[in-house]
C-alpha cells in the first residue's frame, strides 16, 4: 500500500495505484494514458500546475508528485511484465484435453495378406513356393503351354512386347514379353526339378486389360502345379475343395464348371458360393450366387513333353487364381483400383490387431472409422477361415 502523501490531490490517486496490479492489458494501457498521458494525464496535469505554486510549496509538492509518478511507472511496468509472462505461459502450455496423436501402425496390403494366406494353406499341403521371371519369351508364355499359334485363346493374352532382340534359342526363345499369366513358371519348375513336384508360384502378370472397377492391366496370380505318378482329377478336386474350405470357411459350397485352357485337359473353373449373399444372389455376384475363384485342369501331356517329362509315366494337375480378385470378393471392395491407389485411408482399414501390436485409434468421424467395421467384420485378416 502506497503511503499517504498529505496532499489530498495525490492521496486521491492512491486507490488507482493499488488497482494497477489487477488490470488486464487493455485497461492497463488506458490507465497509463489516464495517469501519465502527455496532454491530460492526471499526474501530468499536477506536474504542469507546479509553476503556479509558491516556491516553498512547489518543492515539497513537486517531490511528492514525482515520487508518486515513479511509483506509478514502476507498478505499470511490473503489471505489464506479469501480463506478458502469463500470455507466454498460455502459448506454451500443454492442453491435456487435446485428442492424442495416433500411433502409426503399419500393416500388410490386403492383397499381400490374401496371397500369404493362400501360400500358407498350400504350404501345409506340401507345396513349395517358386517364383519365375515377369519378362518371358513367347515360348514359355505360350508355345510350351500348348497355345497353337493364332488360337483365339491368345486374344485374352495380349500384352506388351519388349523392344529387344528376340531370344534366339530353339524352342525356348522368341520375342520377349511381359508374361500374361503365371503358367510359364510351370514349365520352369518342371525343367528345373523332375517329378514328383508340388509348387505354388505367386507373381504379377500383365494384359492389355482396361483399368476399370473390375480389371487392371497388371495383377497378381498364384499358379499351382502337382506332377507325380498316379495323380488324377480326384486329387485336383480334393486339393482345391480343401483349399476353399480353409480359405473361405468350412461350410462354403464350391462347384466345378467345364472350361478350356490349351495347357490343361480336361479343364475346369471353380466357383465358390458368393461370400456376400451366401448364394441368394446379389450385385457382387451378378445375381448368380457364385463367385469365380480359379481356373484348373489336368496338365496337358504336351506340356509335360515340352518340359521334358515322360507323359506316359506322369500326370498332374494345375490351377491359377488371382489374389487381387479374391481380395476384392473377400472384403467386398467395390473397385479393384483401390488396391493400386496407395490411399492410406483405404489401406488402414485392413490393419488388424495382432499380438504385440496395437490396433490403430481412429479419430471419430474420419473415413477410417466408418470403414473399419466393414474391413474387420469380414475376413478379419489371417486365420479366420
- What are the residues binding ligand PHE (CB under 6 A)? 181, 183, 223, 261, 264, 295-297, 318-320
Least distance in Å: CB of 269 to ligand PHE? 8
- DSSP-derived 3-state class of residue 180: coil
Q: Using the structure block, give the residue that is written with the C-alpha cell 462354403.
A: 252
Which CB, 176 or 205, lies closer to ligand PHE?
205
How far does CA 268 lie from the centroid of its chain? 35
Smallest separation (angstroms) from ligand PHE to the CB of 297: 5
Q: Which is nearer to ligand PHE, 183 or 368 (CB)?
A: 183
Nearer to ligand PHE, 61 or 261 (CB): 261
Tell me which residue has its CB nearest to ligand PHE.
320
First to last CA, the chain: 82
Strand residue runs (E) in the chain: 128-129, 135-137, 176-178, 197-206, 218-228, 254-261, 264-273, 290-299, 315-321
**Least separation, in Å, of the C-beta of 127 and ligand PHE?**
14
Among all chains, which residue has been given the C-alpha cell 483401390?
A: 338
Nearer to ligand PHE, 266 or 362 (CB): 266
CB of 311 to ligand PHE, least distance (A): 17
Q: Give Cα 314 distance to the centre of its chain.
A: 45
Q: What phi and psi values does residue 295 have, to the nearest 5 degrees?
A: -105, 150
Is 5 or 180 the residue whose CB approaches ligand PHE more closely? 180
Per DSSP, helices labelled H in the chain are 8-11, 14-19, 25-36, 42-49, 55-92, 110-124, 138-141, 184-192, 233-248, 301-306, 323-331, 338-341, 344-347, 367-377
**C-alpha distances out from residue 303 to 182, 225, 228, Å:** 14, 12, 14
In the bound complex, what is the minimum distance in angstroms from residue 134's beta carbon to ligand PHE? 14
CB of 250 to ligand PHE, least distance (A): 25
Q: Is 32 helix (H, G, I), strand (E, B) or coil?
A: helix
The distance of closest approach from Cβ of residue 158 to ligand PHE in the complex, given in angstroms and rounded to an integer, is 13
Q: Which is nearer to ligand PHE, 320 or 360 (CB)?
A: 320
Query: Closer CB to ligand PHE, residue 65 or residue 296?
Result: 296
Asked if 189 and 225 count as a contact pair (C-beta separation under 8 A), the reply is yes
Q: Which of 25, 34, 7, 26 is nearest to 17 (CA)?
A: 34
Amino acid at each position: 500500500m502506497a503511503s499517504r502523501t498529505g496532499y489530498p490531490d495525490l492521496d486521491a490517486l492512491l486507490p488507482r495505484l493499488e488497482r494497477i496490479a489487477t488490470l488486464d492489458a487493455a485497461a492497463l494501457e488506458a490507465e497509463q494514458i489516464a495517469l501519465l498521458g502527455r496532454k491530460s494525464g492526471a499526474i501530468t496535469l499536477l506536474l504542469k500546475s507546479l509553476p503556479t505554486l509558491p516556491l516553498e510549496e512547489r518543492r515539497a509538492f513537486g517531490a511528492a508528485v514525482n515520487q508518486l509518478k515513479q511509483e506509478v511507472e514502476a507498478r505499470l511496468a511490473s503489471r505489464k511484465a506479469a501480463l506478458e509472462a502469463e500470455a507466454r505461459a498460455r502459448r506454451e502450455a500443454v492442453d491435456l484435453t487435446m485428442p492424442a496423436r495416433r500411433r502409426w501402425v503399419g500393416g500388410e496390403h490386403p492383397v499381400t495378406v490374401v496371397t500369404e494366406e493362400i501360400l500358407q494353406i498350400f504350404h501345409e499341403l506340401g507345396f513349395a513356393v517358386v517364383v519365375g521371371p515377369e519378362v518371358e519369351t513367347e515360348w514359355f508364355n505360350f508355345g510350351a503351354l500348348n497355345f497353337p499359334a493364332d488360337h483365339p485363346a491368345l486374344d485374352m493374352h495380349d500384352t506388351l512386347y519388349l523392344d529387344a532382340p528376340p531370344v534366339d534359342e530353339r524352342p525356348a526363345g522368341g520375342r520377349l514379353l511381359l508374361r500374361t499369366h503365371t503358367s510359364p513358371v510351370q514349365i520352369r519348375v518342371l525343367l528345373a526339378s523332375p517329378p514328383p513336384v508340388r509348387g505354388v508360384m505367386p507373381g504379377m502378370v500383365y494384359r492389355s486389360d482396361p483399368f476399370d472397377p473390375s480389371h487392371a492391366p497388371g495383377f497378381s496370380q498364384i499358379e499351382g502345379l502337382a506332377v507325380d505318378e498316379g495323380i488324377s482329377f480326384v486329387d485336383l478336386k480334393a486339393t482345391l475343395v480343401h483349399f476353399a474350405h480353409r480359405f473361405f470357411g468350412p461350410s462354403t459350397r464350391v462347384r466345378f464348371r467345364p472350361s478350356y485352357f490349351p495347357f490343361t485337359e480336361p479343364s475346369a473353373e471353380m466357383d465358390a458360393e458368393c461370400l456376400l449373399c451366401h448364394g441368394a444372389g446379389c450385385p457382387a455376384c451378378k445375381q448368380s450366387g457364385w463367385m469365380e475363384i480359379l481356373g484348373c485342369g489336368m496338365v496337358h501331356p504336351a506340356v509335360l513333353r515340352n518340359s521334358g517329362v515322360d507323359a506316359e509315366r506322369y500326370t498332374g494337375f494345375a490351377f491359377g487364381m488371382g489374389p487381387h480378385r479374391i481380395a476384392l470378393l473377400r472384403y467386398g471392395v467395390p473397385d479393384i483400383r483401390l488396391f493400386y491407389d496407395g490411399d492410406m485411408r483405404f489401406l488402414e482399414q485392413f490393419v488388424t490387431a495382432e499380438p504385440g501390436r496395437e490396433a490403430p485409434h481412429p479419430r471419430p468421424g474420419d473415413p477410417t472409422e466408418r470403414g473399419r467395421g466393414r474391413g474387420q467384420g469380414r475376413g478379419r485378416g489371417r486365420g479366420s477361415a
